[in-house]
Structure 1
Amino acid sequence: MLSSSILLFPLLTAASALTVYHRVYIPGVAENSFVERGVIDSSLFQPSPSLSQQWPDFEKALESLSSTPHITLDRVLYQVALKREGSEWDISSVKLCHLPFISSQTLILHTPHASASLPPYAIDYFVSPIPADGSCPSVAGAAATLASPFRALSNINTTVVHKSATLPPLPQLRTPPPLTAEGAPVQPVPEKSFIQKYWMYVAAIVVALMMTGGAPEEEGQSAGR
């Protein structure tokens, strides 16, 4: 049985069961049809009963790589998708070469609002662990492990995350400069110099010094007489 651990950001309850589909996608080759991967119901992921019967068909699709040598293994994708009526499916992909080494998978369902039980509009799919640079294993290692690359998906931990849409913070806008009637920016008034600002005080100090400086001289003249 596929074990499931559930993480809700925020807590949401789907209005009805949601079907998740999957396929192998090889660029340049006729696209394979999506088949049922499992169902998310009441925030629990239940794999499809026919999952083990799908792996031989998926492995058979990989046989086309031998006839298309120009397509390298790191270009082959494993895709999961949500079906949307009247529009294209929403798809998320990982490299197929990572599947034999994973121990967990995460399905992130993006919903419009946190408070409304609305169907998700997008899905993100992640597997772990994978190399930090996202590269595929060596050719020798890949040949040994990709003989049956999908078996790991039959018994891994699954995390389902419901994530509501969020808006980025608004930019901090500066107040536009005032404009004249002609539409030109209003020029700031030139700043006054120190003398222009405080000339009255300077003049008062000069006058005071002049008045206090004359009295001792008159007293000296009177004493001489």
Structure 2
Amino acid sequence: MCSVRATVILLFLCALASTVFAEGPTEQTTVLTTDTFEVFDNLATNEFTQRGEIRVLQNETALYQPVASKYAQQLADIGEQELSAELYYTVILRSQNSGARHVLSVKRCRLNGEKKADETFVLHETEGGSVFRADYDAGKGSNCLKSPLADTPSFATKALVKSRVRGPTPELAIAASIDASTGKEKQPEPQKGFLAKYWYYLIPIVLLLMFSGEEPQQEGNARH
């Protein structure tokens, strides 16, 4: 009895092992990139220098990758800065597909005392997959109570993608009809019955049936 049980267990283990080895390693699927945004900031100097890029993927996710200093570039043709670099930390995203730019800012004091500040990019997509708006947050509001920023911090970056969702179509109510003489809402007219609605269709049909029934009788009487 024990030998039979051992044989069954051995066969089961052999079948399980053959199934696992037959499947082999799973192939990794590559997710295509829909757009790449170059990330520029004015933290180190008054000029906007690239510090990374955000890849927007087809599966509604995004990946941030820092750029090495030797590959960094400066953003030209930014025009006049509306926000002072002393008061605001500004990030500019530039799309490699369309060249569109998104200017994002937070108070610079939110980075005070941070060696590695948390930051979050939220990219809002249309139904077609293009980014139409971006939101940004970095540091902490409580850091504004600390001493001014001395060292240049690094960032722990998180990038999110949110797709625009079409909401349900509202059912519009019928506008109220106001009686000009009284200023009150007019009461809806009572619904008419079937005969009241379609009497002008029924009368010709009834008359046609009446006259079509008398003609055969007249012909029959004439024969007699």
Q: With structure 1 as the length reference, what TM-score do the two structures score?
A: 0.47
| Larger RCO of the pair (alpha carbons < 8 Å, separation 6+) | 1
TM-score (norm. length: structure 2): 0.47
